[in-house]
């Protein structure tokens, strides 16, 4: 079997085992990832910075006793630092070139992973599709006419295309889980505080942002989380320590979990039959695994929650653009794409008191959600309301486009403080995906699970949300569902190696 075929079909754990047996070398895997990237990226457009020379150098000297010694990985081009490598954040704003590694990058490399390239993201990660004026459209390896989701869409694309088995990803409103759902991957958003963001930040978007990875297998996701969750002395808070290893939890075959199923759109927007079919598949698999499944309602999930979320994201983004202006020595708002520019201006109009009140309301609703669901081991929810849409489908058209241009040109962002305008923007931004921001607000762990393929051959994943600090139960459930579904053997049909 060719090394490319091995890379294409094997998860990171399997590749590490082959490395440790001497059946493949780190340099062979790295070269195969580079060759497949060069062959495939022209079709999916997922790579930003190529780290090929550094990757080959590291492959020649990797510590062979590291858990993932010699396994190639991709790093998302947003909110994480690799010394000497430009971070573009999907924008025309001048890139940041750090002199240091982020804590998470150091933990990846200590585990033996070799960064081969960085991956695309929408501008500053504020859209749930990976399309930017700076780098163009990132395309889905299952069908290149369709989206990969966002903001970790580049990460998901390179894993689904078989270029690397795992990729770093981050999630402030679904950005790990939505691309996983669109690309047939596993994507865990850990509990708040589980993975450090240092030294780049203490927290992101008032604690909404978490980092981890998109993977082909549950066991890879679990093993990676084991390796990156150690105490960080400069992080302001941390999730509670797990009872055991996440990798061990993924192997368990415990029965009798109590699982709630929430199907409604909290925005009362349309949901496709395919999404409900994916939910039905998840319920069937959970029952086959021996779990108790009950339909539930969560009446506290409504438009008020999303309006307050939008205010916090807007004010946080406005603050981030102020920091970027300080870094660059000049204002950067004029270099932003129109939608992100409007978001920055909207955020500037949110007063400190208004932002604080919105955050307190979100926290109060979070406590209500957690009290209502804490007796459950997991809650199933959709991730995407429709199968992965065609590229460009999230762009505004007609009256929405006219309104957006007018708001930008006339600097009328203050109109978004009128609830009807804000609701319209929320619908325009989230009609494809209504649910994932809920767990960013609550701080719960939530894992995206591949469970369905449409008649057109497009994946649809769902999510299982758990108790705060309890990724172990989710990994046990996910491992069982992966085994029952047989999903681990599926691969995107793009450039299948001979």
pLDDT digits (tens, 9 = 90+) for 308-331: 999 999 999 999 999 999 999 999
pLDDT given at position 404:
87
pLDDT given at position 63:
82
Find tokens 């449409």 and name the residue. Answer: 454
Instruction: Evaluate whether 364 touches 442 at the Cβ level (below 8 Å).
Output: no
H or E segment and range at residue 52: helix 52-61
The percentage of residues in the chain with a pLDDT greater than 70, rounded to a whole number, is 100
Q: Is the pLDDT of residue 402 over 80?
A: yes
Query: Pairing between strand 378-382 and 258-261?
Result: parallel
Distance CA 467, CA 254 (A): 17
Q: Where do the DSSP E strands lie in 368-420?
A: 378-382
pLDDT given at position 25:
94
DSSP string, 433-459: --STHHHHHH---EEEEEEEE-TTS-E
Read off the pLDDT of residues 104-146 as tens digits, 9 standing for 90 and up: 999 999 999 999 999 999 999 999 999 999 999 999 999 999 9
- Local confidence band at 194 (pLDDT 50, 70, 90 cut-offs): very high
pLDDT given at position 409:
84
Mean pLDDT across the stretch 481-488? 94
Residues 6+ apart with CB under 8 A from 472: 242, 243, 244, 246, 249
- Local confidence band at 1 (pLDDT 50, 70, 90 cut-offs): confident
Distance CA 464, CA 474 (A): 7
pLDDT given at position 413:
75
Instruction: Evaluate whether 185 touches 448 at the Cβ level (below 8 Å).
Output: yes
Distance CA 41, CA 365 (A): 43
Q: Is the pLDDT of residue 403 over 90?
A: no
**pTM for the structure as a whole:** 0.97
Distance CA 78, CA 96 (A): 10
Tokens representing 119?
A: 């991956």
Q: Report residue 106: phi and psi, to 5°.
A: -60, -40
More confident residue, 176 or 231: 176
Distance CA 58, CA 182 (A): 32
pLDDT given at position 408:
87
Q: Of 104, 99, 327, nearest to 235 (Cα)?
A: 104
Find tokens 């790990």 and name the residue. Answer: 176
CA angle 301, 307, 312 (to 5 degrees): 110
Taking CB atoms within 8 Å and a gap of at least 24, the contacts of 320-327 are 320/124, 324/93, 327/96
DSSP string, 95-147: PB--SS--HHHHHHHHTT-EEEEEE--SGGG-SSS-EETTTEE-EETTEEEEE
Instruction: Evaluate whether 441 touches 305 at the Cβ level (below 8 Å).
Output: yes
Distance CA 251, CA 253 (A): 7
Find tokens 């395919």 and name the residue. Answer: 274
* CA-CA-CA-CA torsion sign (208, 213, 217, 221): negative
């Amino acid at each position: 079997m060719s090394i490319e075929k091995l890379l294409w079909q094997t998860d990171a754990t399997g590749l590490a085992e082959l490395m440790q047996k001497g059946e493949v070398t780190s340099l062979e895997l790295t070269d195969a990832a580079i060759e497949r990237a060069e062959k495939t990226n022209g079709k999916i457009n997922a790579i930003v910075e190529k780290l090929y020379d550094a990757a080959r150098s590291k492959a020649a000297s990797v510590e062979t006793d590291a858990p993932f010694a010699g396994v190639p990985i991709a790093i998302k081009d947003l909110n994480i630092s690799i010394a000497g490598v430009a971070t573009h954040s999907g924008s025309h704003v001048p890139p940041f070139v750090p002199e240091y590694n982020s804590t998470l990058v150091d933990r990846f490399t200590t585990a033996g992973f070799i960064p081969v390239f960085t991956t695309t993201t929408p501008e500053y990660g504020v859209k749930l599709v990976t399309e930017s004026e700076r780098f163009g459209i990132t395309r889905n390896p299952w069908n290149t006419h369709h989206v990969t989701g966002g903001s970790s869409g580049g990460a998901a694309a390179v894993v689904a295309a078989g270029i690397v088995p795992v990729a770093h990803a981050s999630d402030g409103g679904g950005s790990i889980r939505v691309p996983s759902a669109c690309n047939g991957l596993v994507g865990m958003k850990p509990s708040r505080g589980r993975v450090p963001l240092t030294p780049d930040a203490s927290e992101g978007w008032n604690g909404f942002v978490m980092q981890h990875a998109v993977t082909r297998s549950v066991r890879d996701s679990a093993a990676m989380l084991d390796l990156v969750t150690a105490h960080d002395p400069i992080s302001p808070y941390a999730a509670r320590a797990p009872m055991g290893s996440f990798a061990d939890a993924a192997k368990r075959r415990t029965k009798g979990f109590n699982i709630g199923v929430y199907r409604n759109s909290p925005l009362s927007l349309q949901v496709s039959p395919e999404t409900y079919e994916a939910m039905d598949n998840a319920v069937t698999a959970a029952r086959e695994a021996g779990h108790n499944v009950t339909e539930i309602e969560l009446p506290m999930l409504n438009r008020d929650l999303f309006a307050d979320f939008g205010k916090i994201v807007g004010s946080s983004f406005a603050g981030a653009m102020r920091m970027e202006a300080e870094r660059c020595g000049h204002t950067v708002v004029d270099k932003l794409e129109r939608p992100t520019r409007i978001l920055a201006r909207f955020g500037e109009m949110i007063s400190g008191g208004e932002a604080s009140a919105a955050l307190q309301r979100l926290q109060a609703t979070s406590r209500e959600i957690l009290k209502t669901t804490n007796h459950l081991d997991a809650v199933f929810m959709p991730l995407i309301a429709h199968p992965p849409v065609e590229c460009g489908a999230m762009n505004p058209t007609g009256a929405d486009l006219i309104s957006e241009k007018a708001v930008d040109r006339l600097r009328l962002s203050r109109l978004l403080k009128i609830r009807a305008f804000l609701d319209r923007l929320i619908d325009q931004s989230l009609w494809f995906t209504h649910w994932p921001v809920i767990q960013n607000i609550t701080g719960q762990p939530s894992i995206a699970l591949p469970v369905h393929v449409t008649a057109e051959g497009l994946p649809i994943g769902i999510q299982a949300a758990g108790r705060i600090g309890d990724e172990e139960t989710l990994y046990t459930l996910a491992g069982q569902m992966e085994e029952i579904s047989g999903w681990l053997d599926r691969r995107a049909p793009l450039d299948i190696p001979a």
